[in-house]
Every structure is written in C-alpha cells, then in structure tokens.
Structure 1
Amino acid sequence: MSADRLYKLCQRGRVRRVQTGGNGREALYDVESLPEPIRVQVYQRISDREAEERAAEPLSQLIEIDSAAVRYYSDYEVSPGVHLPNARQQLYAVNCAVLNAIIQLLKQLQSQGKVSLQSFWQQAAESALRLRDVWVNDLPTNPRSLQRKCQLYQSQGYESLIHRGYRNSNARKVDSEEQVSLLLHLLSHYNNLDDTMVARLYNVISDQQSWPQISASTVRSWRIDHQSLIAYGRKGETRYRSEQTMTVRRKRPTSALAMWSMDGWTCELLYQSTNGKRVTTYHNRMTVVVVLDVSCNYPIGYAIGEHESPALIKEALRNALLHTRELTGQMLRTNQLQSDHYAIKTLSPLYAAVAERVTPARVRNAKAKPVEAYFNYLNTTYCQTYSNWAGKGITTRDGKQPNVDALNALRKQFPDRQGIIAQISHIIEQERTLKHAEYMELLEALPAQHRLPLSRESYLLHYGETTQRTLAISPQGVRPTLLGIRREYDTFDRSWREHSSERWLIKYDPDDLSEVLAVNPEGTLRYMLQEKYVQPMALIERTEGDARELERVMTYNKELERDTRQALLDHRTRAAAVINTTQQQLPLEGHEQIKGLLGRLVLVDSKGQHKDERSRELRPDPLEADYTDEPLETLEVETSTQTDTPYDLLW
C-alpha cells in the first residue's frame, strides 16, 4: 500500500491510526480497520513476527526491574521540593532494566568469544523496539545511538537517562537570586497585578540590568509554582491564615456547659426605618450577639441591637445566665468561654464572672470559632426563607444573592425595628425548641465537678443594672427608685450600719427586685440587701407571717442595742484602766477638777431623779469600780489657778 493511499484512508476514517509516528515512534494502525487484502497479508506475516520474538527471548529473560533505580528516580528532585513526574520515573526505571539486560547479554556473548558488535547492536535495537509492548521504553532505535546511550549509562549511571531539560538550567530566563526576588515581589504585590502587567514591569528593570525578557506565560508558570508564597502578599494575612495555614481538627464537647463560643453577627435581614427628616430607608440591618453552646450548637444566650457594643455583649451573657436558670433552676457558669478581642479589657471582668477559663480566639481567625459557622447555618436555614433577606454577604458572587428588582418592589413590606427584633427572636427560639431535648441530655452528662453555680451577688455585681446616683443609709435602710417606684432595702448584717458614712450604688436585676446589691463607689464594700417586709398598721389586717417578720426585726434591734451597749462598756473599762494608770504616773497638784457635769448632762440616779443630784457636789468618776449611789459628804476638790490640761479633760 502506498503512503498516499494509507493517508487518504485515515483521512476518510476508513483506517484508524492508533499512534502517530515521529521522534523515534513508529506509526501504529488498527489491523481490523485495514482493507481486507491488506489485513490478510498482515495475518500471513504473523508467523514471521513470532519467530522474531523468539529470537528476542534471550534479552527478555534477562530483564529485571532495578529497585535501586526505582528509588533513585523517585527521590530525584528537579528543584527543591519538585520531583520527576510519575510517568517519567517509570520510563527511566524500565530503560535502566533494558540497558542492564543488554549489557549482561553482551558480556555473555563476549565470554563465548563469538560476537559481532555491529550485528549485536543491530539486534539489540530491534529487540528493544519489539519489547515496547511489554517493557515500555524510549531507548534509541538506531543501533549506533543505542550503543552510545549504553556507554554513557555505564560511565554516568542513572542520571544519564534523565532528560537534559530536567537537569539543565541554562535556558532559564529567571535564574539569579535578584531576578527571582524581583519577579516574586511583583507577583506578591498587594494590588494583585495580572501576569501581563507583571511581565511588563519586570521587563522595564530587565532592560536596565541586561536580563532576558520574559512573557506573561513565564509569569504564569512562576505564579502557579509559588502560589503559597505569594498568597500572603496578594490576599493578606487573614486570607492566608484561612486558606494556606494548617487547621487543627477538633471534636465537640460531650456535655453541655463545657464550652461557649460568642460573637456578633450583622443579621442578613432588612428592615425599614424613618429618620428625623421623614426619609425612609430599607437597607438597615440589626446586629445579634449569640452565645453558643458548642456541644450541640444550642443558642444559650443572645441579644439584639443596632451594633455590637460592650453593653450588647453584656446583655447576651446575662440572657445566657438567665436561660441556664430556666433550664436547671439555678444560674450556671460555663467551664470555657471563647470570644474575640473586641473591647477585651473592658469585658474581661464579665467574661471571668461567667466562665472558669476565657480563651479568646486569634485575631482575624474566623475558622477557629464555631459560632461563625453557626451564623452561616442560620442565614441559610432561616433567613433565606424570608422576603426581606439581604443575601450572603457583599463578597459572595451574584448567583447566591437575591433579585434586587424584587427587593425594590417589596421594600415597603419590610418590617420595622420592632418587627425585625421579633423576627430574629423567633428564629432563635425556634432553634432552642428544636434542640431542647438534646441539650437537656447533654446537661445530664455534665460531671458534678464541672457544674459551676453563679452566686446571686456575683451576678448582680457584673450583670445587674446600676442606679444613677449614690444613696446614704437611713433608719429605713436605703430607698432607691427602681423602675419608677421608690423601694426600701435593708439587711440583718450587723456591719452594714457601721458604714453609715458611706454612700452606696445599688445594682439590681429588673426581672427580680427582691434582692439588690449595695456597693460603695470604690468597690471595696458589698452588701446583699433584701426588700423590706411591709407590716400593716391595723392589727385586724395582719396576716400569717406578719408577726414572725416583726419579731425578727425586734429581736435584731434588741441584740444590736445590747451588743452596742456592751461594746461601749468594754471600751470604757479599758479606757478607765489607761486613765488610772496615767493618774498614778502624773502629779495632780495644780490641776482643777471638772465641776458641774450634771449641769451639762442629764444623768439620772437609781430612782430616775436628776434635779436633786444636780445640786449636790461632784460625784467620783462613774468608771471606777467602787462607785455607789451614796452621796460623798467629804469630797475635797483642789483648786488651782493653772489652766486645764489634756489630763484634766480625760479626768
């Protein structure tokens, strides 16, 4: 068959070419697609082909894979960290195996003394070609070239088979450290230059430095090969950490209250608002601070406001504590709280009060916070079903955003501020309802040693509302105005009235005003105060419990008066001892005694009389132990012209 006829048959699709020829390859054709006369001739020559294969059997029997060659090509690095392609590794290993067999066969024939090198290399080249169906190789089909290849392999070893394109760097246009640094600097620029612009800017410098010019395709190859390196400059620190750095794999807690994760979210629901100029806007969104128990993604606390602030975060934590009381009957703290670094100095006392350990996430590391993924879940599961849905963020592609024309047509149906708050609250309450049973099981699984109650005092101190002004102690206790009503609070703590000179700030819970916390402005004193029990004036209106509460107050007052009187007498006794000791040590000559004490103080006698005693002479010091009510007829008082001394005042 002529070459022209074969070409035409292939062009018309009547003969199928399996492999094209060129570069050491032979063209291969599907025998079954050839014309019948040609196909018959091919089958007639099969016997001759089998005979040639039998002649090549000595070489095929000697071929064995060289394990050392396999390891060498597997570990070979074209450049630091870049290995040979897998197909090349296999091809070079087979080439080594075939060359080793050829060398071994040549040595066997030379030892027999009967070998023609020209004939040997001719047969070796033909054998290597025929063995390609089983041992895929790319050894030269020319006998002389195969001989040179074998000699080079014997002298240089495995590396001689590696193509010079992998070993030779002379053709590189970007080779020196200065060239590499310049190109990588342009590729990592924060303006995200495209390949054409990078090549243009690089060539401006290369003209001055006499460097070879590069094209955009060269830049593209470098950008692909160094993608991780240039990502830090092109995308920034946050994107680099999110996309390039290693992520720690973590598992969820097996019990509730083990860990809370908290963050703020600008809810993707729009509402309408009218400003002072009577202009209504429809692009407004509320911010939700969610406290998430990550054991089952249960929203244990939340708060809704205009924007994230310390006050909104405080309200969300307060809601979480109150919800734990609803579920368990007492306020419980969490063992670990994960937050961000927003207002961390201001909020640290609040975090420490609600959690045993506070572990802020790394700055701009959103993937470390489970609550971030929870926001996406809320947006997809709930918010997307509302007609006032705003989309999935401004950076999301248009295919995941709502129809702007439809939003404009429906904007007047958007809820107002109160409506959007109700909408968001409904979403959170739905979540709580769906996960309530699972969360109660996780609460049961919480070990007793990790169940951390929160005291009422600590709750009011950190999460209670505070009065605007300070109050002083009065006989009625303290009388703050809470929620527009004047209330009275007091305590049976004896030390409370010892600080009557202090002024107090009152911290209270708007949902429970039965107890408040009194704190001085410096924060050094704290007292829990109870709302005073109201007694009826009329006896006929007294109810059960009134007498008990009245007796409690009367008993307290009696004990307080008795202990106060006793403490005062103890002080007087000790003071008398000091004064008597001083009297014995200092001379009394020239000192006038104090007269007319009863003229200044109304001190009655044992019969309750005062006026009769006032006219009598000055009695001895009542602090003395031998004091009696009998009048002293012979009291002698020394007079002196000298002025009183401090000792006289003590006397």
Structure 2
Amino acid sequence: MFEYYNNNILCVQAGWLVDSILSKSNYDALVKRGHLKRLQKGGNGRPALIEFATMRKDIKEKIVSIVGDPTEKAKHITFTDYITIDDTARTYFNTYTLPSGESLPDKNKAEYIANSEILNAVERIMNSTMSKRKVLGGKVKAWDKIAQVVQELPQHTYPHSLPANVRRLRDKFNLYKKDGYSSLIHKGFGHKNSEKLADDAKFWVLARWSDRVNRCATYSQLFSEYNSLAKQKGWKELKTEQTLINFLTDPKIENMWYGHRFGELNAKEKYSYQHSTKLPSMRDSLWYSDGTKLNYYYQDEKGKMQTCQVYEVYDVYSEVFLGYHISDSENFEAQYAAYKMAIQIAGHRPYEVKFDNQGGTKTLKSQSFLGRISKLCLNTAPYNGKSKTIENAFYRFQNEHLKKDWFFTGQNIQSKKAESKANMEFILANASSLPTLEEIKELYAQRRREWNESKHPKSDISRLEMYLNSTNPATSPVQIWDMIDMFWIERPKPVTCTAYGISFKDKGHKYDYMVYDENNMPNINWLRNNIDKKFKIKYDPDDRSIIQLYEETPLGLRHVTEALTKIEVHRGAQEQEEWELSYIRQIEKANKEERIATRDKMDAILTDQGRNATDYGLKNPSIKGIESSSKQKKKRKKKTKKERTDIGQYQKELSNTVPTDTKNIYSIM
C-alpha cells in the first residue's frame, strides 16, 4: 500500500485508498481539486501514487488508524527495492526434476523462486552498512526487523514460505548461503505414502482392486486385507488407508485399473484422446442418421400400451430433421424410407452421410444403398455417442418438444433428472385414453415441424430458414434417374416378356405391366419385337404403377424403356364401360395391321430371294379373320365330302371328331 517515489517521497497507492477509505467518485474529485497530489499515474502494471505528506489531515488519520504509522511501514517498501529477479533461480526450479522423474508443481516453483529472491535481498542488505541503516535503522536487532518485514510482504506479489521465527529464518538464510537453491526444496517433497509400498505389494494392491469377480467393495476392505497379509508377505503394515488411496489414484496407476472396475467403455470415455471438431458451414455437407425410441406411449388395436421406433436423417449444419420413418423396429425399410424422404425434401445429394452400424444399416451397406446417395459414406465409431451429433439433437428435441405431451415416455433410461422421467402414475391411470398409432404419427410430424421452424441455437433465424438459405456447390441436384438409381429396387431374377406383357409375383401378389405409346395404347410393335426376351426390372416399392426395364449386356445393365401397370378390361359386355369397347376395337385393329405388315414384309423378302410360294407354283394363304379369298369356291357334289380348304374348318372338324381307334384319327388328316 506504501511506496517511495523517486526513492525519497513516501506515497500511498491510489488503489488501496479507493478500496479502504475513499469512494472512486470522491477520489477523482479530490485529485481534480488538488486535495490529493498524484505523483504517478497508474498503467502498464504501475500503481497510481498519492503523496502522503500533502494529504488532508482527516485522510492521514484514517490511514494511520487502519495500518499504523506509514513511516514505519515504509521500511518494508525500501526492502522491496532490494528484491530483484533471479534468472538463475528461475531456470533452476523450472527445470528441476524430482526423484520420481516429475517436475515441480507450478505452485512450488513460484514459492521457491520467491524464497530465493527474498533471501538474496537479505544478503545484499546484511552485506552493506548503508543498506542496514536505510532499511533497518542500524544493526541492532537487525534479524528481528528483517523477520517482521519479510512476513509483512504481500503474498500475491511474493508467494514465499520463509519462517516468521527469527532464529529459524536466520538458520534458513545460513543454509541457503551454504547449499544454494537445493536447500529450499523440501526434503520430503513428492514422497507420498504410496511410495512406502514394496513393488510386489503394489502389484497385489492393483490386482486386488481390479478383480472383477471377487470384488473389493471399499478402500477400508482393501486396507484390512492388506494388513492381514502384510506379515505373511513380509510387507510393512500400513497405518492408514490413505497410503492405498494415494497409490491407486495416481493417474499413472488409475488408468490401468479403471476399465476393469468400471467397464472399458467408461475408461475409453475418460482416457482416450478426444478430437475438437468444427461443424459444417453449409447445408448437405454432412447428414447423420440414427434410429431411436419414439418417446410416446400409444394404445394398439388390442388396447395395450406400446412404444415404437423412429429413424431420422439430420442435416448437421442447420439441425433440420430432413426425413424420417416410424416403425416397430430399426430395419432396412425404415432407413430406406427416411433417406428417400430426406432426398426428396433436400433436392440434392449430401456430400457425406454418417450412420451407426447397427440394425438394418448392415443390409443397407451390403446393397451399397448409402454409397449411391452420397460421395462419402462412413459409419460412426461404435459405442461412441460423442461421434454422433444427432444424439445431442435427439436429446434437445425430446426435452424441448416431445416432453410437452402427457404420454411422453421420458428420455434416456440413464437420465437422472426428474424432469427427464415419465409421469408413469398419471400415464397408467389414463392408459385407456392413450392416442392411437396414427394419432402419434400425426403429432410427431407436428413436433418435427416445430423443431425445424424454431430458432437455431447459433443463429437469429429458424433451422429451416438456415437450411433453405444455404447452398453447397459440391452437391448436385437430384434428377429422376438419380432417384431410380438410389431408391428403386432391382429384382434379382429377370422376367420374360410374353403376349400378356411383363408379369411377375412379389410377396404373393401378381403385377402386370405393359409398354404403352404416347397415346396410352399398348405398343404392339414393341411387344411383337420383344416376345420371349428377358428383362431386368427396377421399381419403386412405394409406387408400383411404373417399372423400368433393362437388358443385361457385357458392359452392365442398359435401360430399354418403362412399363406401366397393364390396363384391364371386362370380358363380359354387361360390365364393360363405354371406353372399354372402343379400347378393345382399337387394339384389335392395331393387331390386324401389325399382322398384315409383318406378313407383307416377310413376303417381300421371300420374293426378293426367289423363295415365295408363288415361285414354286403354289398359293400364299390369306390371313384368316382379316382377308377373304377373291375366287369363288366350287361346290362339290352333295355325296362327296366337302373339300377342306379353310384352316378354321379343319380345326373345327378335328375338335368334333370322336375317335374310336387310332386309325380313324389319322384318317382325318
């Protein structure tokens, strides 16, 4: 609080005046009016100094009443002039190594450096008669005055541990002059009780405390067992269990037994290096997906209280929940539907997706499903909740939104807060009033909207606005063929095209498809050209109205065309709608035209090659049901069998013949 200005003017530190006697406003006013003479302004570590001699009488009296005569205190100020920085001491203590191989703690370093610098000052004063006179007023009872001054040094400036006793201080000084810096380090420093344990005793203690089968419940039990074995093992008995505690809680020892006693995952959480990471700065840079319990109770068809699962896809940048699916369990269908919804909402592929390798995700991975969605596809480290940002989002979503509803199941079972628990007493009392699963789905969709439309914790806008306002140049827009590639399922077996079109069964249900032209009429030409051809099929399991046909080539699948659900018509006229008759006639006409065109094309080829029937003196048959013979058929005699020139007549006779023996059957031909 006191200090000499220019080595001869006694001053009081302004900070102490304001803290102990004057208010800040009063101090400023007195300085301004000249009632307090400020010789040094504060700043850059220097205190503001007020000359003591020029102070008003009432202020001087208050100072004396609090701290005594400042002229006596000034001796302490003069003493500090002799305390200088000892770089050699600072180097010695900062680099000192204990027998255990460890360095000194910072607190002890500061203590020993202060001790050495103060003792250096004492030595300078004691070696100079002038200094003794100036600081101590002479050599009579010099050590009494030194001990008093040393003990009144401010600890925040000089954190020393020098003794207050005059004789002990003098002995300390003499030892320091003789042995130097090493004399200041406590001889028992770093020698904990655990070091009294013999090496074989340490192994026994470590193994006993780590035993996962015959567990040691408490330190007291360990202490008792140790001492009961000590005599037999030749160990020194311990006086206190603190010896064992000190040994086991040493960080170099604790990490060895922690996993055996509390579980390896807990040890991993406590001791494994954790990365500090920066979150993405744009949308669709990173998506997380995970399945969890949907934290609502509902009432099933039988009136029983149930819960279900939800699988969510989450954009890390904006915290927007993009896609989800509710089901009984975390399976392929749930993940497929959630990602499909997320892609449809985003309109872009994500750069990277992360997921855990649990549940149906293994199926996803085997089908390269997630790999088709993004540029990077990585599973999060197992048993590492910190690696999944989505888990923290789930926690906040549950806590801020789902908890609003009375049938909330509570959060994670490990949650300890009462607020995180379900009110089971109330829920069970009202079990008959629980919502249905459909009502739960509607409510969950509403709560998700609330989450997406609420303010982002690190922004002044909503999560959804944050997502929509962001762009990611590294992600491409999703086209229809991207959706097919990502979400359409490929049937493992090819399907053969027939006159009925493309037909196959899936889970007991038969699906029929046809290739149609731009007028929504069956593409008769395409059908005739692809009968008996095998096609690979891709389809959207959520919309079976359209399929894509592919043919296998040496280079892989090649897209051929798309097929739509085949149009069905009524066979009986009674149930036919007006459009059906017209539809049937159009197709019949197209079939006839196609038959004629095919016959004419082939006849032209045969004629060109000299192989038409007429080239052999024979006739080409007409297309039955379409064309009629231009020549009149000659009538046979009534008793003569009618000549069979019509294939239809021939087929009719054959079907009406009742065979009596093999001979008669062949006589017809």
Give the TM-score range, shorter chain. Answer: 0.5 to 0.7
Structure-1 residue corresponding to 2:289? 262
SS in 1 for 2:381: coil
Which residue, 332, 347, 351 being the options, matches 2:370? 351
Render the CA deviation track for 1:407-433: whole Å, top value 9, x for unaligned.
322223222433333333333344455
User: Does 2:252 match 1:252?
Assistant: no
Cα offset, 1:148, TM superposition: 3.5
AA in 2 matched with 1:311: E
Structure-2 residue corresponding to 1:500? 532
The answer as to whether partners of 1:125 and 1:146 remain within 8 angstroms in 2 is no
Structure-1 residue corresponding to 2:267? 240
Render the CA deviation track for 1:369-404: whole Å, top value 9, x for unaligned.
121111112211222111111222222225232333
Which residue, 389, 396, 399 being the options, matches 1:380? 399
Using the alignment, how far apart are the partners of 2:94 and 2:471 within structure 1? 53
The answer as to whether partners of 2:491 and 2:536 remain within 8 angstroms in 1 is no
Using the alignment, how far apart are the partners of 1:158 and 1:178 within structure 2? 36
Using the alignment, how far apart are the partners of 1:486 and 1:425 within structure 2? 33
AA in 1 matched with 2:546: S
Cα offset, 1:440, TM superposition: 6.3
AA in 2 matched with 1:93: I
AA in 1 matched with 2:122: I
User: Does 2:337 match 1:315?
Assistant: yes
Structure-2 residue corresponding to 1:402? 422
Cα gap change, 1:103 to 1:268, in 2 (>3 Å): same
User: Does 2:226 match 1:194?
Assistant: no
Cα gap change, 1:425 to 1:157, in 2 (>3 Å): same
Structure-2 residue corresponding to 1:211? 235
AA in 2 matched with 1:338: K
Aligned residue pairs total: 518
Structure-2 residue corresponding to 1:155? 178
Q: Which aligned pairs between 1:41-56 and structure 2 lie closer than 5 A?
A: none
User: Does 2:482 match 1:479?
Assistant: no
SS in 2 for 1:289: strand
Cα gap change, 1:561 to 1:291, in 2 (>3 Å): farther
| Structure 1: gaps of 5 or more residues | 1-41, 113-118, 574-597, 612-651
Using the alignment, how far apart are the partners of 2:527 and 2:139 within structure 1? 116
Ranked by relative contact order (alpha carbons within 8 Å, sequence separation 6 or more), the top structure is 1
Cα gap change, 1:64 to 1:500, in 2 (>3 Å): same
User: Does 2:316 match 1:302?
Assistant: no
The answer as to whether partners of 2:503 and 2:511 remain within 8 angstroms in 1 is yes
Which residue, 515, 538, 543 being the options, matches 1:511? 543
Structure-1 residue corresponding to 2:356? 340
Cα offset, 1:264, TM superposition: 0.6
The answer as to whether partners of 1:263 and 1:291 remain within 8 angstroms in 2 is yes
Structure-1 residue corresponding to 2:22? none
Using the alignment, how far apart are the partners of 1:478 and 1:344 within structure 2? 32
Q: Which aligned pairs between 1:620-639 and structure 2 lie closer than 5 A?
A: none
Using the alignment, how far apart are the partners of 2:493 and 2:131 within structure 1? 114
Using the alignment, how far apart are the partners of 2:620 and 2:79 within structure 1? 143
SS in 1 for 2:267: helix
SS in 2 for 1:358: strand
Cα gap change, 1:174 to 1:415, in 2 (>3 Å): farther
Render the CA deviation track for 1:69-127: whole Å, top value 9, x for unaligned.
345445556555564362x4444333212321233344446999xxxxxx969523541
AA in 2 matched with 1:235: F
Task: Report the more deviating stretch, 65-74 or 458-467.
Answer: 458-467
Which residue, 314, 319, 340 being the options, matches 1:292? 314
User: Does 2:381 match 1:362?
Assistant: yes
Using the alignment, how far apart are the partners of 1:93 and 1:353 within structure 2? 65
Render the CA deviation track for 1:291-347: whole Å, top value 9, x for unaligned.
1122211121111111112232222222323334xxx5xxx3221111112255532
| Structure 2: gaps of 5 or more residues | 1-63, 133-137, 456-460, 517-522, 571-575, 622-669
AA in 2 matched with 1:392: Q
Using the alignment, how far apart are the partners of 2:221 and 2:600 within structure 1? 94
SS in 2 for 1:267: strand
Q: TM-score, normalised by structure 1?
A: 0.64
Using the alignment, how far apart are the partners of 1:160 and 1:525 within structure 2? 88
AA in 2 matched with 1:420: I
SS in 2 for 1:320: helix
Cα offset, 1:550, TM superposition: 12
Cα offset, 1:364, TM superposition: 1.1
Q: Which aligned pairs between 1:398-477 and structure 2 lie closer than 5 A?
A: 399-400=418-419, 401-432=421-452, 439=464, 442-443=467-468, 445-453=470-478, 455-456=480-481, 459-460=483-484, 463-464=487-488, 471-477=495-501
Which residue, 103, 116, 129 being the options, matches 2:123? 103
Which residue, 138, 154, 164 being the options, matches 2:187? 164
AA in 1 matched with 2:400: T
Cα gap change, 1:500 to 1:95, in 2 (>3 Å): same
Q: Which aligned pairs between 1:606-617 and structure 2 lie closer than 5 A?
A: 609=619
Q: TM-score, normalised by structure 2?
A: 0.63
Render the CA deviation track for 1:431-459: whole Å, top value 9, x for unaligned.
45558985466456434552142553x64
Using the alignment, how far apart are the partners of 2:425 and 2:431 within structure 1? 10
Cα gap change, 1:508 to 1:147, in 2 (>3 Å): closer
Render the CA deviation track for 1:265-309: whole Å, top value 9, x for unaligned.
11222223477xxxx643x32111101122211121111111112
AA in 2 matched with 1:339: F
Structure-1 residue corresponding to 2:641? none
The answer as to whether partners of 2:297 and 2:408 remain within 8 angstroms in 1 is yes
The answer as to whether partners of 2:356 and 2:381 remain within 8 angstroms in 1 is yes
Which residue, 504, 526, 531 being the options, matches 2:564? 531
Cα gap change, 1:323 to 1:606, in 2 (>3 Å): farther
Cα offset, 1:205, TM superposition: 4.9
